[in-house]
Amino acid sequence: MADAALTGACMCGGVRFSLSEPPLGALYCHCKRCQRRTGTAFSVSALTAPGSFEITAGEELVRSWDPGDGGWRKSFCSECGGQMWTADPENDELISVRMGAFDEDPGVRPSAHQFTDYAAPWEPIPDDGLPRFPERLDWSQAPGYDQAGAGP
């Protein structure tokens, strides 16, 4: 890994990861799973460049939940419950990291809202000018995303 690797961890620090390349983009997700997983109205995740993600400590603590319906697998620390990343069930190279899990500013900002048809009624989506997608976004549709073909 290069010295400039972006790092992150779960809440207890038992699981650590790094990215060897900057994230490709980020988005807000308003799906019901993210609402239930976070206890909030949405989650914010950053798509990693294929092959850039590495677990650097605590791999034995990582647990994943596969919804079984084509939704992305959710990975978390079995010790503290910290939600860290999600992965495409059909392509393990497509990993999206929860932005709050990074140790420092990942250098990307959310560029879209996905699953807006499921947004929490008690927390309206702000009028921030970002494109809105009623269902899952294909990352090739996200503003500023330059690697068409990958998508959560």
Nearest-5° Cα angle at 144, 143 to 150:
85
Q: Dump pLDDT digits (tens) for 121-137.
A: 999 999 999 999 999 88
116: phi then psi, degrees, rounded to nearest 5: -65, -20
Q: Measure the CA–CA gap between 8 and 67, rounded to whole angstroms.
A: 25
Q: Dump pLDDT digits (tens) for 41-78.
A: 999 999 999 999 999 999 999 999 998 888 899 999 99
Q: What is the DSSP letter of 22?
A: -
Domain range 6-140, CATH architecture: Beta Complex (2.170)
For 4, other C-beta atoms within 10 Å of its C-beta total 9
